[in-house]
Amino acid sequence: MKAKLESLVSSLQEATSPEHLQTATEQLRDILGVRHVVYHWVNSEGERFGAGTYSDEWVDRYLEKDYLRMDPVIFGCFQRFTPVIWKDLDWSSRAAAAMFRDALEYGLGNQGYTIPIRGPNGQFALFTVNDSRDDDAWRGFVEANGRDLMILAHEFNKKALEFERDGEGAAPPALSPRELSAMTCIAKGMSRARASEEMGISEHTLRVYIESARHKLGALNTTHAVARALSEGIILV
């Protein structure tokens, strides 16, 4: 596993677009044998971006329920500079407990480990690994892999900062005709079933185009991708 992690670090250092960060989270998830790996950052202008393996359904649910306002992981990481094991945080409130139950229903594991990262000019990021294990097994996993995870977290953040600097004044990303059609259908409020019918493709293929567009746009989820595409004039509705 050590060789695979070293190879992943090397590929991160050579990454040329936010889409590569997404690919790296998927590769790291498989290397570690965990449920999810997520890198989420807020740039110096307050814009949020994400790369990770959480489902679109969970991300949309998280935003719909406005969990950002009370997420114990977010608050725990704002208040410290050191990594946190989720179960060491305060989940005692009714709202936090409800959010945790909701997360489990949407495919998250019962254990999490999040590394807070602070960059220049107010940049803030979180690097998270999530899985389902008992408490002792999870603490053993963190102890065995914590150093490597810290290195990876900072490599993700270093590359994200490079993308932010390189993106200043850059042209909007180019979407393929199919990606443009998919995003336009979603922007018009069509369901995925209706959009796939409109385009004459399967829902699975539609998802591929949507995900590809989301990665190119550096968006946290589909809703964010549509908003960015509209604001940058990439699609018109």
Give me the sheet containing 124-131, strands edge to edge.
48-52, 36-42, 124-131, 111-118, 84-85
19-23, 95-99, 118-122: range with lowest mean pLDDT: 118-122
- For the chain, give every domain's residue range: 2-166, 177-231
pLDDT tens profile 32-59: 999 999 998 876 555 667 789 998 889 8
pLDDT tens profile 56-103: 889 888 888 888 888 999 988 887 789 999 999 999 999 999 999 999
Residue 198, pLDDT > 90, answer: yes
d(CA 231, CA 185): 16
Burial 138-176 (b: 16+ CB within 10 A, else e): bbebeeebeebbeebbebbbebbbebbeeeeeeeebebe
Say if residues 117 and 125 touch (Cβ distance below 8 Å): yes
Residue 47: C-alpha distances to residues 44, 212, 219 (Å): 8, 20, 10
Strand-pair partners of 111: 131
d(CA 87, CA 112): 8
Q: What is the mean pLDDT of residues 209-235?
A: 81
pLDDT of residue 101: 96
Residue 171, pLDDT > 70, answer: no
Residue 130, pLDDT > 90, answer: yes
Domain 177-231 belongs to what architecture?
Answer: Orthogonal Bundle (1.10)
pLDDT tens profile 133-169: 999 999 999 999 999 999 999 999 888 888 777 655 4
pLDDT of residue 172: 66
Burial 61-98 (b: 16+ CB within 10 A, else e): bbeeeebeeebbbbebbeeeeebbebeebeeeeeebee
Residue 105, pLDDT > 90, answer: yes
pLDDT of residue 64: 83
d(CA 17, CA 30): 21
Amino acid at 138: W
Report residue 36: phi and psi, to 5°.
Answer: -145, 145
Closest CA to 160 of 10, 27, 39: 39
22-26, 102-106, 137-141: range with lowest mean pLDDT: 22-26
d(CA 55, CA 61): 10
pLDDT of residue 66: 85
Q: What is the mean pLDDT of residues 178-199?
A: 92
* pLDDT, mean over the chain: 87
Residue 123, pLDDT > 80, answer: no
Instruction: State whether the Cα torsion 166-169-170-174 is positive or negative.
Output: positive
pLDDT of residue 138: 97
HSE-up (13 A, CA, CB side) for residue 134? 2
Grouping H, G, I as helix, E, B as strand and the rest as coil, residue 52 is strand
Q: What is the mean pLDDT of residues 200-222?
A: 84
Structure tokens at 146: 């914590």
pLDDT of residue 169: 47
Which has more confidence, 202 or 121? Answer: 202
Amino acid at 54: Y
pLDDT of residue 99: 96
Domain spanning 2-166, CATH class: alpha beta
